[in-house]
Chains A and B, each alone.
Chain A
Amino acid sequence: MALGILTLTGTGCQRNADTLVHLNFDVVWDGDPYTVGESRPDIQGRPAQLERLECYVSDFFLHDVEEGWIAIDTVARIDFSQDGAHALLTVPGDGDRTIDGLRMGLGVPEDRNVDVDPASYPDPDHPLGYTGSAGLHWGWAAGYIFSVYEGRLLTEPNIPFTYHAGDDRTFRTTELTWDAPWVLECGSVDTEFTLVLDAYKCLHGEEDTIDPEIDPETHTGNNLPLAVRWVDLYMDAWSLAP
């Protein structure tokens, strides 16, 4: 009986399963480990306490050094107050890939946002479904809340702040690169890396600072300029864990 011989070429393979990449999410404050609910000094030294930090991420791309940007259709809800905040990317193609970059949409893509009723999702637990989007939806025709950054300055009296970004004008894309390219093996299922959001940088960037005492609140529709300032800081607050 002849034995079948499977020949693998340098970039081809027989796929037994989807190629999966696990994205973990972590939050830091000015580069230091942080847990939502802790108090840390803001740029003026005032104690700032985050109480709710959640977001939608979507429209992922991995950059293949040979093929360019590879689109991956995923929407995930990330709650930084919960352990194990996580998104799963299913990477198309039948060959190994050499990856050196990542693009990630910050929010819900336009075609899935306005005029989409969460109740219309057959699976209520889908991140955009009725249960899955609880607390991150404006109303049946008004779209999703892309990001929620809530807390207070623990001054006397305390000063609450609320930054809610959530219409198509506040959708942003962040692009991150690895120091060195790495190989994503075809059919692998346990590749993982960690994306880090620096919550401090969401208020304090190189070109702008939001002072919660002066600009405490935006829900986008009622204060678009502040929402835009906030998402631009938020967009630059992401990094890849080494």
Chain B
Amino acid sequence: MVRRTTSSWLTVTLLSVMTLAGCDCGKPPQVWEPTPYALEIPPFFPPMDIPADNPLTEEGVHLGRLLFWETRLSQDNSMSCGTCHLPEVSFADPEPYSTGVTGAVGTRNAMALINMGWASSFFWDGRALTLEEQIFDPIPHPAEMNQPWSEAVAKLQADDTSINYPQRFFDAFGTSDITADLVTKAIAQFVRTMISADSKFDQWRRGEVELTDSEYNGYQMFLREGGDPEVVPGGQFGADCFHCHGEAGLQFTDHLFHNNGLDPSFEADPGRVLVTGNPLDSGLFRTPTLRNVALSAPYMHDGRFSTLEDVVEHYNTGGVASSTIDPFMKYSAGGLSLAPSQKEDLIAFLHTLTDTVFIANPAFQDPH
């Protein structure tokens, strides 16, 4: 089954007669007639909540792809969004921290860009509530692309390459007057099309393939409560992943924020509290999706774990107690206490979430 999202905005033929800056009065005015983008929502996925003021169009998505890979958005024309969001690692950064154009190093690991159209907040601390809002941040950020928006926009406006950005913006938005707002909208349109739904787990869910015994055992552990019932009341010898990496909608995240027991205190990075001011949010970070988790190392907000084995071992030992550690962590009971074969099964299951079709999709690669 394939569902398609539509927008009432797109059901109306939208015609706008506009002239490009520097009108050539001998030519007829251009007609703006964007093509609605038919976004295919995969089976078992939820509807995507697309902002009414930024519907997907073929022209907007293509422009967004050009901009996602556009190095002129950075101060020295050396970095694009794709520099730190590499396709081969699920559009994440294989380094714990990304290095910006000035050599400055960030403080958090670049998150994988995968099924972001279903996210309800962005960044590890959730400080952006829309993709458009999130995209505003990296371009002027001194530790990233370090270019004021005014300069980035000026470069695009003055584009004299075959890309012809002013024309592309007209095609996408009906105006050749480029603004930061329109740049973010175009990139957001592109990122919303970056949908992963062809992992082995997806195929199994659709009844197309079988999981191996090890993968299936790992999946069952994923869904079971953690701990030895002799030590943890209600324990089921499971891995207890599902509470935070919920499978509803096949996104493997609850979109909430948790302290998963990484540190005893939060001076290094207070996390979510910086956004909310609520002390109970100290040390909390957004639950990332587990899709393509085998490709998107390193792990955690600071990239401290380099392998899935390290991550599983962290939960297996229960993490470090602190004032806000999540009650789901079995820190007071010594962790999950999984046997080596159980850990292997769990990791085998996590590998079923790998979608190589997604990372190799030609529509997401650098078009320049």
Contact = CB atoms under 8 A, between A and B. Distances in A.
Is the A/B pair a real complex?
A: yes
Interface of A: 37, 51, 117-119, 121-125, 129-131, 133-135, 137-140, 150-152, 157-162, 215-219, 221-223, 226
Contacts of B278: 37
Interface string B225-258: 1000000111110000011001111100011100
Contact of B242 (A51, A123, A138): A138
Interface string B101-137: 0000000000000000010100000000000000000
B225 A139 contact: no
A119 B249 contact: yes
Given A119-B46, A226-B233, A226-B234, A160 B248 contact: no
A158 B323 contact: yes
B51 interface: no
Nearest to B257: A135
Interface in B238-286: 242-243, 246-250, 254-256, 278-280
A161 B233 CA distance: 11
- Size band of the interface chain B makes with A: 35 or more
Nearest to B254: A135
B44 A162 contact: no
B285 to A, nearest CB: 15
B120 A162 contact: no
Interface string B321-365: 101111110001000000000000000000000000000000000
16 contacts: A119-B250, A124-B47, A124-B49, A125-B49, A131-B49, A134-B120, A135-B246, A139-B242, A140-B250, A152-B327, A158-B321, A160-B327, A216-B327, A217-B234, A222-B225, A223-B234
B9 interface: no
A118 B249 contact: yes
The 5 A-B pairs with the shortest beta carbon distances in the complex, nearest first, are: A130-B46, A160-B327, A222-B234, A223-B234, A119-B46
Contact of A119 (B232, B248, B327): B248
Given A119-B44, A134-B256, 19 more contacts: A37-B279, A37-B280, A51-B280, A119-B46, A131-B49, A134-B255, A140-B44, A140-B247, A150-B327, A151-B327, A152-B327, A158-B321, A158-B323, A160-B326, A160-B332, A221-B225, A222-B225, A222-B236, A226-B234
Given A51-B280, A118-B249, A139-B247, A131 B46 contact: yes
Nearest to A129: B46
A117 B44 contact: yes
A51 B173 CA distance: 45
